[in-house]
Structure 1
Amino acid sequence: MALIDRTTKECHFLAEAKNAHSACLLPDRQIAVASSFGGDQVQFYDRDEKQKPASVVQAISLLGAHGTVWDPDRKCLWALGEKELLALVADAEATPQKPWKVRSRTPLPSNGGHDLSPKHDGKQLFVTTDTQVLMFDCDKLTFDVAEGFGDQLKIKSVDRNSASGRIVFHQATAENWWSDTIRFTDAVPLKLADERLYKIRWDTATPAP
């Protein structure tokens, strides 16, 4: 996992996390990484560590960790695994070696938690599993099937543009974990021949935690 300056191409941070699937910037110059199968952890790092690769400060077990999203309103890190969604928060009795703890564990309605992204309404998160696209209510800790998707197989990512509200998503083929097609809820698909796409995101500015 690397943090790269897109202008200078300089690598500001580097870590090794087995089967890393997502990373998230956190307050106090921290970084969280979802280390999926074989790692099965949410790993925390000091963003300012000069050593490359950086060493893990703390790890919290999470089977099949796939998604990490910082929630500034609730001051928690949402972390998606194979079967559950965790809310992780700073520990009031934290030590430098264990700054985070689990506040809640919410079982998923279906197995195979894969993608986690904000709806940008301050209330909900998109969650994808092997067989569903879901909306998660961050206050009620409940799931509903996402409008416009229904129960669809192998959707690897969903992302809503914070400015326009447009939704882009990626659905793998029946045979593979990838496809060559970018899909939208309001436009015709965009096919990129010979590409193996996996996760798709809008390129929009995000305020630093």
Structure 2
Amino acid sequence: MTGRPTRRTALLTALGAGAAAALPAATAHAAGGKPTPPVAVTDQKSRRVLVLDSRLPWESPDAVRWAFSPEGDERYADLEPEASWTYVDEAKARRRRGRTYLLTTASFGFAAVVEVPTGRRYWAGALAGGTDTVNPHSIELLPDGNVAVAGSTGDTIRLYTASQGPASDTYAEYRFSDAHGLQWDNRRRVLWAIGHDELIALRVGGTAAAPTLTRVHTAALPHPEGRSASGHDLSPVVGRPGRLWVTTGYGVFQYDIAGRAFREDYAGAAQISRRSVKAVSDVRGSGRVVTTVPEPGLEKSWWTTTVSAHNPEGAYVLPDGGIYKARWWVPESR
């Protein structure tokens, strides 16, 4: 006897269809005209990146605006995604030369820049295998078309010559302890990176085919006395240019680049700043912020089913999910 499909089954069925569906305009509007973009989440349980409508309950199949997984896609078969796509841990939206891209990584080695909505491979690589573990944790697209990847276990920032082809495996490397987050700064033309105890800026030199990386700025991360900071996430404060969102094991800060100081003077800090925040981003205009923190009692200690919203407070819930990071789906231009 066949019963009625569960909400989870209906949602997963929609995800399969969503991968081929066109993604609507990045920003919709709620009452009052404030922007309410979709939210991109890394759902490690379903092994997909999901772009979900922030205006709808996420248990509804209609909430899925687009989804990506390389598994079963011949364009990514050479990367063996059945293994390398384990624990998807990053999802960012970027815009370059009239095209929108998903930037994504997974802990077992997968890293890619994926055209939306076609799923076409702009660039992709498998950065780990056997005992040579890199653990990709974040990724960034540069204006020249090259791609930077942060490897936390590998203590490395690699700048791949993606401008030279979709499978280019040539890279410049900068060694950086527990590299976790990356963010390109269009104004200052530097690549920001966060690691174990430091926030740094790297200048990109050389050519697109033979790039170099040189450290030009260092800031020690805030941390309790006698403990390491455990730097984690890095993103722009879009509502306050000249600042970066920075998360550590102990709180959420805004780094004032010109003032060279970590600030906690932002709206909603009392609710936003807490331990173990895995991702943070805001929306220009409304000041709305989303964050993720681990939820007790799930299969993995770093998973959550809930994306917290702030300014005002709220939440989005993905039933039976295993979310690691979540970001507003608003493509940054490159």
Compute the TM-score of the two structures, normalised by the length of structure 2.
0.57
Find the counterpart in structure 1 of residue 313 from structure 2: 187
| Bigger Rg, which one | 2
Alignment counterpart, residue 249 of structure 2, candidates 121, 130, 135: 130
Quote the residue 1:40 is aligned against.
155
For 2:95, the equivalent position in structure 1 comes to none
Kept in 1: contact 2:248–2:277 (CA 8 A)? yes
1:68 and 2:182 aligned: yes
Shift of 1:167: 0.6
What is the rounded CA distance, in whole Å, between the counterparts of 1:75 and 1:7 in structure 2? 29
Q: Which of these residues, 105, 108, 119, is aligned with residue 9 of structure 1? A: 119
Aligned pair in 2 of structure 1 residues 154, 174: CA closer, same or farther (>3 Å)? farther
Checking the alignment, whether the CA contact within 8 Å between 1:64 and 1:81 is kept in structure 2 is: yes
Higher relative contact order (CA 8 A, sep 6+): 2
Q: Which runs of 5+ in 2 are unaligned?
A: 1-110, 128-133, 224-228
Paired residues of 2:156 and 2:179 also in contact (CA < 8 A): yes
Query: 2:8 aligns to what?
Result: none
Aligned length: 204
Q: Would you say the 8 A contact 1:13–1:49 is kept in 2?
A: no
DSSP-derived class of the 1:15 partner: strand
Greater strand share, 1 or 2? 1
Q: Shift of residue 135 of structure 1?
A: 0.9
Moved more, 43-52 or 55-64: 43-52
1:57 and 2:157 matched: no
Per the normalisation by structure 1, the TM-score is: 0.90
Any idea what the Cα deviations from partners look like across 1:80-100, whole Å, max 9, x if unmatched? 111101111134xx4764522
Structure 2 residue aligned with 1:159: 281
Question: How far, CA to CA, are the matches of 1:128 and 1:72 in structure 2?
Answer: 21
The structure whose residues are more often helix, as a share, is: 2
Instruction: From the superposition, tell whether residues 140 and 126 of structure 1 become closer, same or farther in structure 2 (CA, over 3 Å).
Output: same
Moved more, 174-183 or 81-90: 174-183
Deviation at 1:4, TM superposition (A): 1.1
Contact 1:20 1:36 in 2 (8 A): yes
Deviation sequence 1:131-156 (CA, Å, 0-9, x none): 11111011222112354334511111
**AA aligned opposite 2:152:** S
| CA RMSD after TM alignment | 1.8
Q: 1:99 aligns with which of 201, 205, 212?
A: 212
Whole-angstrom CA distance in 1 between matches of 2:117 and 2:296: 38
Identity of aligned residues (%): 30
